[in-house]
Amino acid sequence: MSFLPIRYPKLFYCKALSRKKDRPKTLYLSFDDGPNPLVTEKVLEILKKYKAKASFFCKGKNADLYPEIFNKVKAEGHTIGNHSYMHLDAFKHKNKKWLSDVLRKSPVSEAYYFRPPYGHIFPWQYRVLRKKYKLVFWDVMVYDFRTDYSLKKIKKILFNKVRDGSIIVFHDNIASSQKMLPALEFTLEYYTKRGYKFEKL
């Protein structure tokens, strides 16, 4: 039962976003785990190069640690989403502790959108949080955080899985950056040439 909701989010969370099917030639880039002053700055530069907008699901702790880069993301017109404070896994922590972490006051706690860490959330947690947030999953995960995924493999995902209205997940942290940054550039260049635009949620 634990993993059914994340395997079949539409079945359990019918009002959550995982793709915007009604938006032809439009893609939604999203970034989890930031902001990071070294990585997020580079992401912003690449997005600006292609005149693209995106959505940043930030950890509250990082927003507190790096207010300048967090405020820069907002100032450049991107959407901010809540990705919890400490990035706790709902499947590994008690319900009360996990919910407290998600709702902990921070620069991201009042955002409209919420993406659960690891995409893990139980239906009873969703019933609490849906009063405050719009839940966002994805339909394209690039796995830039996986050591067993090469840049070539990530590009193959981006080539084969992206569809009109796709919500694509990257990670703007140090560990993912070596593959994430060139993969992001590839995505923007490849799909811009094919007439796609990149919007924020």
Give the Cα separation of 172 and 128 in Å (integer).
28
What are the residues whose beta carbons fall under 8 Å from the beta carbon of 179, sequence distance 6 or more?
144, 149, 150, 151, 154
Q: What per-residue confidence (pLDDT) applies to 88?
A: 98
- Which residues are registered as beta bridge partners of 140? 168
User: What is the reported pTM?
Assistant: 0.94
For residue 37, the enclosing domain spans 4-198
Q: Residue 27 above 70 pLDDT? A: yes
Q: How confident is the model at residue 4 (pLDDT cuts 50, 70, 90)?
A: low
- Whether residue 173 is predicted with pLDDT greater than 60 in this model: the reply is yes
pLDDT reported for residue 14: 76
Q: Which one of the listed residues 32, 33, 139, 172 is annotated catalytic? A: 32
pLDDT average, residue stretch 132-151: 97
Alpha-carbon span 55 to 111, nearest angstrom = 11
Count of alpha carbons within 13 angstroms of residue 45, beta-carbon side: 8
Dist. CA 54–CA 169, nearest whole Å = 10
Distance (Å, whole) CA 59 – CA 61: 5
Mean pLDDT of 48-55: 99
With cut-offs at 50, 70 and 90, classify the pLDDT of residue 9.
low
Specify whether 93 is catalytic.
no
Percent of the chain having pLDDT more than 90? 93
Q: Is 32 a catalytic residue?
A: yes
Q: Mind spelling out the 3-state secondary structure of the chain?
A: CCCHHHHCHHHHCCCCECECCCCCCEEEEEEECCCCCCHHHHHHHHHHHCCCCCEEEECHHHHHHCHHHHHHHHHCCCEEEECCCCCCCCCCCCHHHHHHHHHCCCCCCCCCEECCHHHCCCHHHHHHHCCCCEEECCCEECCCCCCCCCHHHHHHHHHHHCCCCEEEEEECCHHHHHHHHHHHHHHHHHHHHCCCEECCC
Mean pLDDT of the chain: 95
- CATH number for the domain spanning 52: value is 3.20.20.370
Into how many domains does the chain fold? 1
Residue 125 CA to residue 143 CA, distance in Å, equals 25
Q: How many CA atoms lie within 13 A of 58 on its CB side?
A: 33
